Structure 1
Amino acid sequence: MKTLSIKNIRPTQLTHGLREILRKTQFYESLSGHDLEMAIAEKPVPIVIGPGDASFAIDHHHVATALWRAGIKTMPAVLVADLSWLSYQDFWLSMDDRRWTYPYDTKGHRKSFADMPEHVWELEDDEYRSLAASVRDAGGYEKTTVPLEEFRWADLFRTYLPYPGTDDEFVTIQRQAIKLAKSKIAAGLPGFVGEIPA
């Protein structure tokens, strides 16, 4: 494990959930000393080395952004793969094949890999991604090791639920999303815990 400067961590997705980031930021800001060090150590960012020896995060974009917003400039990192020998195009094709990237915008439209921002904190806010995290935390589905599972749940909610434009709407839609997550419509998604009637 090594320590990386957060400003040098490149994202592999276009969106994140700002509500989730703000919650994590408050958590890190509430800690100090040993407790803060332990909390940071618990979430090392998994990275893939790409062209130009750049470090690309394949998970924990929200954690990295929350730490940055909390004034913490470095975080532990775990090397998953070194693909620095690949060309730019082959690198992204390999990342896509391994499901280590999610090049979709807030509307669910696929974009070019060239559209990836340079920094993790520059991602576009997707309320449905925050909704996916809050539904998981409320027991709507279980966390798994399936790559990018939260985005699959976010896309389900994007398909069936209206956009939560205000805090009150978010709370209302969250209740609907929990029911949807436990319905047969969600069967087959990673972490599904709902009851499927016979």
Structure 2
Amino acid sequence: MNTLDIDCLRPTQMTHGERQIRHKAEAYRALHARDLKMAIAEKPIAIVLGPDEAPYVIDHHHVAGALLGIGVTRVPFVLLRDFSSLSSAEFWLTLENRSWTYPYDPARRRVAFEDMPHRLTDAQNDEFRSLAAFVRDAGGYDETDVPLAEFRWADFFHARLPFPASDAEFDALLQPALALARSPKAAGLPGFIGDARR
């Protein structure tokens, strides 16, 4: 299986959830070497080639970040598209038209494409992106293939819940966020399940 150096991967989102990355890293760290190898092989990083044939991550930013956090330097990948012949402007517009980029900072302000981070570790922390992942893992909504689904959930929580300034405040948000995810207010979001499984 072909691999790429994680450090050369370019993000297509301005933010990530650092708590989610740490959580994934802890899970990977707990695995025996053989199981870790299998876990890595099961989730190849989805990329597209951009200008200068740079590899841009379309999916599994957090997986790559977590693996980097435990000292893994190379990951398997799957190439979805080769956009290397496009100009930078054409490339980013193509990604946006496919919902393959999220150019917004943690305050939901639009960021110019030229200001997007160049390395995965340069992405800004978004507490609500982590909250969206934790709510999904707790059964608040279903995992889905809809592009940027977890960012849509993060935006939803950001608009309705207070910013968590500490670990305790973040932990205290999980139950209210779960209730919101199951409420009619979340109807229409990707993976919405309502109160069907309460």
Structure-2 separation of matches of 1:179 and 1:158 = 14
The aligned counterpart of 1:100 is: 100
Indicate the SS of the match to 1:48.
strand
Structure-1 separation of matches of 2:29 and 2:121 = 17
Task: Find out whether 1:155 has 2:171 as its counterpart.
Answer: no
Aligned length: 196
Task: Give me the TM-score of the superposition, normalised by structure 2.
Answer: 0.96
Q: Provide, for residues 169-192 of structure 1, a one-character-per-residue CA deviation record: whole Å limited to 9, x for no partner.
A: 112111100000111110000000
Amino acid at match of 1:177: A
Q: Provide, for residues 79-116 of structure 1, a one-character-per-residue CA deviation record: whole Å limited to 9, x for no partner.
A: 10001110110000000000000000000111111111
CA RMSD of aligned residues (A): 1.1
The aligned counterpart of 1:120 is: 120
Indicate the SS of the match to 1:130.
helix
Task: Find out whether 1:146 has 2:146 as its counterpart.
Answer: yes
1:117 CA displacement: 1.1
1:32 CA displacement: 3.3
Task: Find out whether 1:168 has 2:168 as its counterpart.
Answer: yes
% identical aligned pairs: 54
Q: Provide, for residues 40-85 of structure 1, a one-character-per-residue CA deviation record: whole Å limited to 9, x for no partner.
A: 1111000000100000000111110111111000000001000111
Q: Structure 1: which 5+ runs fail to align?
A: none
1:33 CA displacement: 2.2
Q: Structure 2: which 5+ runs fail to align?
A: none
Structure 1 residue runs of 4 or more that deviate by more than 6 Å after TM superposition: none
1:195 CA displacement: 3.8
- Within 5 Å, which residues of 2 pair with 1:41-60? 41-60=41-60
Indicate the SS of the match to 1:77.
strand
1:118 CA displacement: 1.2
